[in-house]
Structure 1
Amino acid sequence: MTISETSENPSDLIRLKDGTFQLRLAGDWLAGSLPLPLDDVEAAMAGKAPVTLRFETEDLHSWDSGLLTFLSGLKKLCDERGIAFDDGNLPDGARRLLALAAAVPEQQAATGQARAPLLERVADRALGVWKSVVDMLDFLGEVTLACGRLLTGRARFRRTDLWEIMRECGAGALPIVSLISVLVGLIFAFVGAVQLSMFGAEIYVASLVGIAVVRVMGAIMTGIIMAGRTGAAFAARIGTMQVNEEIDALATLGIPPVDFLVLPRIIALTLMMPLLCLYADLMGILGGLAVGVFMLDLNLGEYLEMTKLAVGLKDFWIGLFHSAVFGVLVALSGCLRGLQCGRSASAVGDAATSAVVTGIVNIIVATAIITVICNILGI
């Protein structure tokens, strides 16, 4: 390449009298067949210390990403040498794309910033926790108001939705509840039999399984099953409605989303959980009975009599109370995470996962609290 002192010279790079370099872009600038390599321009500008680099594009025909790659490299070279890059004569599309490409390194540099100080991270985490608490309390307040509207007959939701949710939460969950409950009863009976057989007290396997399943384990296992099955479904469905802006549409129409979406789910799960708990208790006792009768050679009538003597009515009521509380907690967790869902497909999956985790944690905490209260009351 040659460098000329006048603009009449047909060379690609022209040095004007004021020290400005002018690069003429002529012909087709396509990827793989650039008329002028960047290295030639860099070599021609070496040691010349130009003030400004501008372009002449009157003879430029067609161009694609090859021109953009050439201009990006040339702009980087000018930035390194302190040369003003004048893109005023470039095509409008090339100018816009060049500006867009120049913004990418700034975003990458922003992600590579140094880690924030410890106190700042602690403060951010504390503010995040506080916001979560405020959102939860706000949600509970809205649910309380919705329950008040329900008691006064002003809650707005479709009764057909309530019956459909009850069917899904109740009859739809029977297969998995049956399987898990029978297996839990089998495990309790087998573990208890290993220890009790050392003292010749295998008959007390019936008491162990009956009290454990009826009093708390039946409700806990049912609650965990419903948290993974129904709580996640609540979060996913409401989260999908959030993504599709259906919840915004309900609010625009003057229909409270908590009334229409949350209230029927809370009612359905609260009503179905005690029934599922009773069914789980029966399945768990049958699982223990299978171990006692077929493995320990216990008499069927004797096993049932020991179960009847060990399990009292108060144990059933405590188990039912556990299950009703768990139903409310699972429904609240699923609906809360669904309403908090973001506006993307991945956010729906995150909401479902968070609903399961939140529901299980709430079940364990509630179990501990109820157990302490029962111990204080002596029941």
Structure 2
Amino acid sequence: MQALKQSQMSDELSFARSDNSTLVVRLAGDWHLRHGLPEPDLVLKQLDTAPKPARLTFDATRLGDWDSGLLTFLMGVSEICHKRNLPADWSPLPEGVRGLIQLAEAVPEKTGARAEAVHTSLIEALGREAISYARGLDDFLRFLGEVAIAFAMLAVGKARFRRVDLMIVIQDCGANAFGIVTLVTFLVGVILAFMGAVQLQQFGAAIYVADLVGIAMSRDMGAMMTAIIMAGRTGAAFAAQLGSMKVTQEIDALTTMGISPLEFLVLPRVVALFLMIPLLCVYADCLGVAGGAFVGATMLHISIATYLRETAHAITLTDIFGGVFKAAVYGIIIAVAGCLRGFQCGNSSSAVGDAATAAVVTGIVYVIVACGMFAFIFNILGL
């Protein structure tokens, strides 16, 4: 046999020729997936180099530790050899590698097992997303209808749930949420006042910052910011709680005992948010006005008494009750979205996190959509 002629060299993979008819694939070092391994295409390039070899063999004398990365590479080489009808000598490889290769080649690949890349047009992708959102809205409305039936059962005194559960959820949705609502709504009032002051000062109308902040907070911002906070805080908690109960089959146990999960689990949560978000909305309105008064006193040098008097003249009872009504609707939307995603949760621990994420997204999106609808309706009614 003539001496081997070296043709290419790398850390793990190199090639040599024997009698110009045999391509020798030299394997060296450790072959681990985490290190990044050569591609079988490197062998293909050598096979296309003149003179083209008539057979292929291996040199594994310097091969170290290996894992499935080596097998993946060798199966790629085997596929290339089969396509070219090129004989390959696997005997120089370690016994364990040879056994796994023989096992893999003993089972033929199922036709159509490899997924082919599917390229969809932009219009098709948009259509699928629209259908997906429509189905999600349909599920939400169906669940909302079932919750309405549970409310009817509550009205006639036939709903089955524990009063202590309702009080616990009320405490969690109400008193325990004061801290984050205080911080966010006060800062929202500060931001609105600062933005308005920058513009109104140019016209000598700085006092109307009180009107801007008061009307904005009482009509929309107080209710919407409170709803967004509760969607991220409480809606996700509802989804995680119910999702965990579904994974542990507690919801199935309630159904087996003849207890409606909607009445026992969902109704207390919906009632709690329906009652507490309007109260938090009024509290948020006050904190937003306080934030505006802070900017007015420090930046515009308007006394607190003057600022509050101007705010009282600007705000009407229609603004306040309109905001409270919106907050109550937002509360129902958030509770229904959180409970729905919890009931739709899969049967794995990771699905609980996915359900909580979906609950937050659904709740916030539907709250903003409802806010836009309210703005349109109230404008038509002249409110």
Distance 1:295 1:113, change over 3 A: closer
2:293 counterpart (289, 296, 310): 289
Q: Aligned residue for 1:298? A: 302
Distance 1:102 1:253, change over 3 A: farther
1:360 counterpart (358, 364, 368): 364
Displacement after TM superposition at 1:317 (Å): 0.4
Cα distance in 2 for partners of 1:156, 1:262 equals: 11
Q: Aligned residue for 1:254? A: 258
1:327 counterpart (328, 331, 345): 331
Q: Aligned residue for 1:342? A: 346
1:8-31 CA distances to partner (integer Å, 9 max, x unpaired)? xxxxxxxxxxxxxxxxxxxxxxxx
1:224 partner letter:
I
Cα distance in 1 for partners of 2:175, 2:331 equals: 15
Other structure's SS at 1:242 match: helix
1:227-278 CA distances to partner (integer Å, 9 max, x unpaired)? 1110111111111111111111111111111111111100000000010001
1:371 counterpart (363, 371, 375): 375
- 8 Å CA contact 2:214, 2:315 repeated in 1: yes
1:265 partner letter:
R
Cα distance in 1 for partners of 2:225, 2:130 equals: 33
Cα distance in 2 for partners of 1:114, 1:201 equals: 60
Q: Aligned residue for 1:156? A: 160
Cα distance in 2 for partners of 1:244, 1:191 equals: 50
Q: Aligned residue for 1:275? A: 279
Q: Aligned residue for 2:139? A: 135
The answer to whether 1:315 aligns with 2:319 is: yes
Cα distance in 2 for partners of 1:294, 1:125 equals: 49
Identity of aligned residues (%): 52
Distance 1:321 1:117, change over 3 A: closer
1:230 partner letter:
T
Displacement after TM superposition at 1:123 (Å): 7.8
Matches within 5 A, 1:1-379: 102=107, 106=110, 109-112=113-116, 114-115=118-119, 128-129=132-133, 131-379=135-383
Question: Normalising to structure 2: TM-score of the pair?
Answer: 0.70
Other structure's SS at 1:110 match: coil
Cα distance in 2 for partners of 1:304, 1:126 equals: 47
Aligned residues: 298
Displacement after TM superposition at 1:214 (Å): 1.1
Cα distance in 2 for partners of 1:300, 1:365 equals: 36
Distance 1:351 1:100, change over 3 A: farther
| Superposition misfits of 4+ residues, deviation over 6 angstroms | 116-124
RMSD value, Cα: 3.2
Question: Normalising to structure 1: TM-score of the pair?
Answer: 0.70
Cα distance in 2 for partners of 1:198, 1:269 equals: 43
| Higher gyration radius (CA) | 1
- 8 Å CA contact 2:140, 2:337 repeated in 1: no
Displacement after TM superposition at 1:111 (Å): 3.4
1:314 partner letter:
T
Displacement after TM superposition at 1:136 (Å): 2.8
1:13-56 CA distances to partner (integer Å, 9 max, x unpaired)? xxxxxxxxxxxxxxxxxxxxxxxxxxxxxxxxx99xxxxxxxxx
Distance 1:351 1:106, change over 3 A: farther
Distance 1:305 1:107, change over 3 A: farther
Structure 2: unaligned runs, 5 residues or longer: 1-53, 56-66, 86-98
Other structure's SS at 2:114 match: helix
